[in-house]
Chain A
Amino acid sequence: MSISVQLEDFDIKAETEKVTAGRTDIGALVTFTGLARDHAGTKTVEAMELEHYPGMTERELERIEKEAHERWQLQASRIIHRYGPLYPGEQIVLVITASAHRKDAFEAAEFLMDWLKTKAPFWKKETGPSGTHWVDAKASDDEAAARWQK
C-alpha cells in the first residue's frame, strides 16, 4: 500500500514494475489512469489547476486505500494523484491494484476511483476561451460512490 500526492508526472510502467517486483503470487494487475480532457461537456478546456489540502489529502487517500484492502483480497496497491497546473492530455491520477484473481483487482480499482472522486480534498479550476471557473461536483460521481456504501 502506498500513496503519493505530487506535482510531478508519473511513469505507469515504472510504477507497475515497483508493484510486481520480486513477486510471483500476483495473478491480476489493474491500472487506471485519469487524464486531463480538452473539453467539459461542450466547453473547451485549455488548462486546469488542481488545488488540494496538504496533509488531509494524504490522510484521506490512505484511509480510502486501507478501506479497499479491508473489502477485497488485494496483494498490493498504489495511488498517485497530481496537483498544480495540468494541461489537456496530461496524467492526473493513477490507481494500481494487484490481486490473485481479477475480480478483486477490478472492483477495488473502481471503488478507489469512485471514493477518491468524492472524498479526496482536490478542487479543479478550469480555464477556457471564456475564462476561468471552479468545476462543480457532479451528481453522477456521488451516485457512483454511493453504490459502495455499506
Chain B
Amino acid sequence: MKILYFASLKEKIGRSEEDIDCPPETKTVGDLLGWLQGRGEGYAHAFEDTALIKAAVDQEHATLDAPITGAREIAFFPPVTGG
C-alpha cells in the first residue's frame, strides 16, 4: 500500500511517500494512523495531534473510521489552506 505525506507532515516524517505492508489488524484510516505513530520519533511528532490530521483514501477525503482494505493509496495531511 502506498502512503503519502504532505506539507508539515512530510517535513516531520522526512519523506513524501513510502510503500508499506501494514499488519492485517489495521482495517481503518485510524488504525493505520495509530500504527504509523509507533514507527519512530518523526512519525510520533507528525501524528501527535490527531485532530489536525486529515486523510484521503484513493484520492478521496476520508474520516478516521473509513476502511482501508483494498486501498491502493492513502494520504495524510494537515487541514488544507489553498484558495
Contact = CB atoms under 8 A, between A and B. Distances in A.
A39 B81 CA distance: 16
Given A50-B82, A117-B80, A123-B8, 11 more contacts: A51-B6, A53-B77, A56-B60, A93-B83, A118-B79, A121-B82, A122-B80, A124-B82, A134-B8, A135-B81, A137-B79
Contact of A118 (B59, B75, B80): B80
B36 interface: no
A136 B80 CA distance: 8
A41 interface: no
Chain A interface size, as a band, is: 20 to 34
B75 A119 contact: no
Interface residues of B, number: 16
Interface in A29-80: 34, 50-53, 55-56, 59-60
A137 B56 contact: no
B17 to A, nearest CB: 11
B78 interface: yes
Interface string B67-83: 00000000101111111
Given A51-B6, A134-B78, A137-B78, A113 B56 contact: no
Nearest 6 CB-CB pairings of A with B: A122-B82, A137-B79, A123-B7, A117-B83, A56-B59, A135-B81
Interface string B30-70: 00000000000000000000000000100111000000000
B40 to A, nearest CB: 21
Interface in A97-141: 113, 116-125, 134-138, 141
B37 to A, nearest CB: 20
B78 A121 contact: no
Contact of A34 (B78, B80, B83): B83
B8 to A, nearest CB: 5
A72 B28 CA distance: 36
B41 to A, nearest CB: 19
B83 A123 contact: no
Given A55-B59, A121-B56, A137 B83 contact: no
